[in-house]
């Protein structure tokens, strides 16, 4: 009875959490635009938003071909800011955000490289506010439209690896600088640059109750439009281990990690910020982890809630990120 009930839970999550998983990563990326944990550093550019903890449980799984809708709500609350050495800054500046990401996706029956071809579009809406007890706060654009994201993926479902059920996906995404941006503001919903992303996600079922999911993403940034400033390339990944308490309910341990591996540049000069402003390291880093739960209904609706607590930050704000995901299949 326990094995059958857990298989039902897996099937439901596979069918309805799959596409959301297959593109959840994508969403997350757009989501991150909202989370704009962008530091208010006056000299060097900050990284555009990316997928930090939006996709975790069953990340590599995808359901049957059809249309799906997902909504992601993620809040970010600053606890502190950190310098290039990872030391806590005495600054009292705080930048908080609330993001609502809308994802529309379609997993087609068309086969490519042995997997199903899928496409998605993400439309982020976000609100940003800033405060500074010690003086003037950085100005935040009141606009709510972040940069939309377009993605195309190949999903391989229900394969086998080491005798275990294994699903995985490869996806290419493009963030389009079409969101609200005004140079009069210090912080904007739009990163105001073209951003190219590629990620690989997988989920392996260790047994009927437990699975492990992982997503690894590489990000390349173009120059900020109208400027010679260019944020460096970076990596971000999402990780999770989940366990079924009952067929429709899972508990999970979730995490994400971001690290910039190329220095910011100006006019092609990767030593510009070091030489001109004395910033010896412009690269950003942060690690977040925490608990989560996920519910899978018999009608295919998936609800996942989790909260991340950030640490090991460099050149950025660090804080907490409560995240809620709701996925609804539109096709029967």
Q: What is the pLDDT of residues 37-87, one digit of tens each?
A: 444 455 689 999 999 999 888 899 888 899 999 999 999 999 999 999 999
Distance of CA 37 to the CA centre of its chain: 12
pTM exceeding the 0.75 threshold for the entire prediction: yes
CATH number at 257 reads: 2.40.160.40
The SS3 assignment for 147 reads coil
* DSSP state, residue 316: E
Distance of CA 61 to the CA centre of its chain: 17
Are 74 and 31 a contacting pair, CB within 8 Å? yes
DSSP strand pairing (285-296 vs 302-314): antiparallel
d(CA 325, CA 305): 6
Are 92 and 79 a contacting pair, CB within 8 Å? no
Q: How many domains does the chain have?
A: 1
Q: What is the pLDDT of residues 79-130, one digit of tens each?
A: 999 999 999 999 899 999 999 999 999 999 999 999 999 999 999 999 999 9
Give strand pairing partners of 99: 74, 126
What percent of the chain lies above the pLDDT cut of 70? Answer: 87
Report the C-alpha dihedral over residues 103, 108, 110, 115, rounded to 10 degrees.
Answer: 70
Q: What is the pLDDT of residues 147-177, one digit of tens each?
A: 999 999 999 998 999 999 999 999 999 999 9
d(CA 74, CA 321): 6
Residue span of the structural domain in which 141 resides: 2-329
d(CA 200, CA 236): 11
């Amino acid at each position: 009875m326990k094995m059958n009930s857990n298989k039902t839970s897996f099937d439901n999550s596979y069918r309805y959490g799959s596409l959301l998983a297959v593109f959840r990563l994508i969403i997350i990326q757009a989501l991150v635009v909202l989370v704009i944990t962008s530091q208010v550093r006056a000299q060097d550019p900050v990284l555009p938003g990316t997928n930090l903890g939006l996709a975790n449980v069953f990340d590599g799984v995808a359901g049957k071909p059809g249309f799906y809708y997902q909504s992601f709500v993620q809040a970010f609350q600053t606890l502190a800011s950190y310098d290039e050495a990872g030391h806590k800054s005495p600054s009292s500046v705080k930048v908080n955000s609330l993001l609502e990401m809308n994802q529309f996706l379609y997993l087609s029956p068309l086969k490519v490289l042995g997997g199903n071809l899928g496409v998605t579009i993400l439309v982020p809406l976000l609100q940003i506010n800033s405060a500074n007890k010690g003086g003037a706060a950085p100005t935040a654009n009141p606009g709510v439209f972040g940069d939309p994201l377009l993605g195309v993926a190949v999903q391989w479902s229900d394969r086998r690896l080491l005798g275990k059920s294994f699903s995985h996906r490869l996806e290419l995404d493009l963030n389009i600088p079409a969101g609200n941006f005004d140079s009069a503001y210090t912080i904007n919903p739009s990163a105001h640059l073209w951003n190219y992303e590629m990620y690989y996600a997988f989920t392996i079922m260790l047994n009927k109750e437990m699975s492990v999911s992982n997503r690894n993403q590489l990000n390349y940034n173009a120059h900020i439009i109208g400027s010679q400033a260019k944020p460096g390339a970076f990596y971000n990944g999402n990780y999770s281990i989940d366990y079924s308490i009952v067929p429709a309910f899972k508990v999970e341990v979730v995490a994400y990690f971001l690290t910039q591996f190329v220095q910011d540049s100006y006019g092609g000069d990767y030593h510009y910020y070091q030489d001109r402003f004395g910033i010896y390291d412009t690269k950003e880093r942060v690690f977040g982890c925490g608990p989560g739960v996920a519910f899978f209904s018999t009608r295919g609706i998936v609800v996942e809630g989790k909260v991340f607590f950030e640490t090991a930050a460099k050149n950025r704000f660090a804080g907490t990120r409560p995240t809620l995901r709701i996925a609804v299949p539109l096709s029967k």
